[in-house]
Structure formats: structure tokens, C-alpha cells
Amino acid sequence: MNWKLLFDIDAWSEVYAAIRKNKLRTILTMIGVAWGMFLFVLLLGVTRGMQNGFDRNLADAATNSLFVWGGTTSMPHQGFQKGRLIELKMSDVKRIENQFPQISLIAPRNNMPNSVVAYGTKYNFYTVNGDYPDQNRMFGKDIIYGRFINEDDIKTEAKICVLGIEIVENFFKETKDAMGERIRIGDSYYTIVGIYDSPSSPVETKDQIFIPFTTFQKVYNQGEKIQYLSLSLPNDYDIVAFEKQLKSYLKQIKNIAPADDQALGGFNLGEMLGKIMTFVKGMQFLAIVVGALTLFSGVIAISSILLITVSERTKEFGIRRALGAIPTQIRGQILLESVVLTLIAGLAGIVGAGLILMVLNEFVIPNNDSIPIYNASIDLFTLFAALTIMVVMATLAGLIPAQRAIAIKPIDALREE
């Protein structure tokens, strides 16, 4: 394209006249390009918002981790009948640590659902968890007041607790007023030393209570029993392969048949997150493909419209050629019209998608915690690259009608009625 046309007022006047002459046809054609860019920006923005949401929610979580618990055997083994209840013990924790030195963090947990919790005349039913400090190192909670359970609490079997924000809001007028107060859990009283919000663990909510593990074992007479274990590995370890190794080892020490898949339960967070991120990456790729194909079809439509326009302006081009216009000028004029139409339509699609994303970020997402999206947006580099590709596509699409225009012989054009 002749870049001097960009600064030629007459060239821009001709572009405006061509667009104005067939307004409806031009607008309908541009909608295809606008819709393609709209889909590209919106879908890519939403999928990146999903990735941002997962990254934010799991920022304080050891994502390469898993949970394992005892189940019921489904087949006999070494003289044991099927239907045997498998329980994990505190002694198993040390054996697992010795067997698998690659483990970064390991923490047992017990819980008691539907425990009666009371403060003054108010009461409700909540889940009480017995925890070690390592649980919060693996899956951090946003401690807004006070602290979490520490090692001294474990050693002294302290009667302290950490409450979720929703429990505090139910019992106290002001959140900070809860600090240092004593609440009754079952038949025992506990001092509130911490209040949390936004847990990163997939099994925790804002309406749970955490007490020292040793205190829990004593109060609820659990002895050595463990309901489940949380384990975390460094990110460069294969958590899926490790889960198989761990369960195989537990089957050996618990006299479980190697083929028994029901005796031990597990939830592999690392594997699940890997699948989620693969899905998000796939959605991003799909957004790019769908947007690009829709945009391509829109640009092709513009090329078709320009072909019609060239046919309608045959006499005009013939006269211009007769008056001395060179082929480069004619070609540049057609390419300029193609690029201008595509740019206007593309920018309209970007603005429309940007408005939708702004509404999502400002009004929809902040008021709905169930939507796992945060900062749905598209970076400027990707946007600039999309616009550049769009301009290149428009230039290539304009070459066909441009070549058609310069192929018209002046004498033939002047014969056109």
C-alpha cells in the first residue's frame, strides 16, 4: 500500500464517500469483523480472569499436595475379612515421614461436624477441626485478627480457638470484639485467639473452628486416631506418582490387599489443579481460535464487498486511469478502504468487549463469591498483536479487489454504462 495515501486528504475523502454511499451494506459487513474481535477479547479476557481467580485463591496454598484417609476393605487379605475399617494412627505419620523424605509438610487432622457452639445466649452448630500449625502452612487462611495455632498450643494442649469470620459475625456485633472472648464448644470453654477469612483449602469454609490437635484428641477422646492426613511435596515432584507410592506403602503396613482400591481414600489436589489449568489453557486456545476464525470470516466479507464496490466504480477507475492515475494509486486506495473498514469494526469490537469485562469486574464478580474469576482482562501486548494481525489480514483481503481494479483497462471502463 502507498503509505503517502495516509496523509492525502483526497484519499480519505474518497474512503468516506465510499462508506457513505452504501451505509447499510458496509455496516452489515463490518459487524462480522466487530463480532470476531468482540469474541476474541471477551473470551480471552474471561478465561484469563479464571486463571487469575485460581491463582489468587490458591496463592497461600501448597498446590502440589494431597489428602489421604482410611476406608473399608473390599476384599479379604492375609486372614483378614473384607469390610474391615482402616484407621490411620499418629504412629503412621512418623513412618510415612521416614519412608518418604521428599515430603515438605505433613499434618494430621480430625474434625467434629455439627458441634454445639455457644456464646452467651446465642448458639449454633459448626465444624470443629483439630489442627497442627503445618495445616495453615499448607493451606493458609487470611488471619484478619490475632494468630493461628502454634507449637506451644500443641505442647500445652491449650484451650484456644481460631474462628471463621461468619461465626464471629453471628455471635458478635463487631469482629474485633471477639478477640480474647471465651466461647463454649460442647462442654468446654475456649479463648478466641484468632479470626480468619478466605481459606485457601478446598475443604475449609468461613464457618469453621480450629483448635490444637492435641486438645481435640483429649477432649473428644480420639487417642491415636487420625481422620485424614494432608501432605505436600515440592512443585518439581510428580504428585500423582507419589500418591500411588504412598497408598502402596500404607497397604503394606495396614495389611491391605494390593488390588483393594476402597480401603484407602484420597483427594489429589495437585492432580485436580493440573486438570483445571489444562482446561483453562484449552479455553484460552479455543477463544483465540474462535475469535480468529470469526474475524477472518468478517475480513473475507469485507473483501467481497470491496469486489462489488470495484464493479460499481468501474467507470470511475477508468476515468482516473485515463487522467493519469497509476496502478499503485488505485491499489492503495482500495487497500486503504479495506484497512479502514476493518480497523473501525475491530476497534468497535474491542470497545464492546472491554465494556462487558468492566461490568463483570466492577459489579458482577465482587458481589458473587461463587464466580472463580478475578480481573478478567486482556494484556495490551496481546491486544496490539491482534490488531496487527487484523490489519495484515485486511491488507491481504484487499489485494483481490485492488488487483481487480487495476486490471480494468481505461478504454473498457469508459464504455461502461
Mean per-residue pLDDT of the chain = 85
Best CA proximity match to 15, nearest among 234, 256, 335, 235:
335
The answer on pLDDT for 31 being more than 80 is yes
pLDDT digits (tens, 9 = 90+) for 304-325: 777 776 666 666 666 666 666 6
Q: How confident is the model at residue 296, as a pLDDT? A: 79
Closest CA to 394 of 314, 309, 295: 295
Percent of residues, the chain, with pLDDT higher than 90? 45
Q: Which pairing describes strands 182-185 and 225-226: parallel, antiparallel, or unpaired? A: unpaired
Lowest mean pLDDT among 48-62, 130-144, 272-286, 301-315: 301-315
Cα 144 to Cα 88: distance, rounded to the nearest angstrom: 33
pLDDT for the residue 313: 66
Confidence band of 63 (pLDDT split at 50, 70, 90) = confident
Residue 136 clears pLDDT 60, i.e. is over it: yes
pLDDT of residue 151: 96
pLDDT (tens digit, 9 = 90+) per residue, 382-397?
A: 888 888 887 787 777 7
Q: How confident is the model at residue 18, as a pLDDT?
A: 64
User: Residue 93's CB: how many other CB atoms inside 10 A?
Assistant: 18
Q: Is pLDDT larger for residue 160 or for residue 174?
A: 160
CA quadruple 75, 80, 85, 87: dihedral, nearest 10: -120
More confident residue, 22 or 340: 340
Query: What sign for the dihedral angle of Cα 26, 29, 33, 35?
Result: positive
If pLDDT is split at 50, 70 and 90, which confidence band does 221 have? Answer: very high
Pairing of strands 65-70, 208-212: unpaired
Question: Residue 343's closest CA among 389, 305, 304?
Answer: 389
pLDDT at 68 over 90: yes
CA-based radius of gyration for the chain: 34
> 80-108 pLDDT, tens per residue?
899 999 999 999 999 999 999 999 999 99
Task: Enter the pTM of the model.
Answer: 0.73
> Does residue 1 surpass a pLDDT of 60?
no
Q: Please give the full DSSP string across 186-244, using - where no structure is assigned.
A: TTEEEEEEEEEES--STT--TTEEEEEHHHHHHHTT-TTEESEEEEE--TTS-HHHHHH
Of residues 172, 85, 188, the one with CA closest to residue 128: 188
CB count within 10 Å of CB 204 equals: 18
Average pLDDT over residues 18-40: 78
Check whether 329 has a pLDDT greater than 60: yes
Q: How confident is the model at residue 417 (pLDDT cuts 50, 70, 90)?
A: very low
> CA-to-CA distance for 338 and 298, rounded, in angstroms?
11
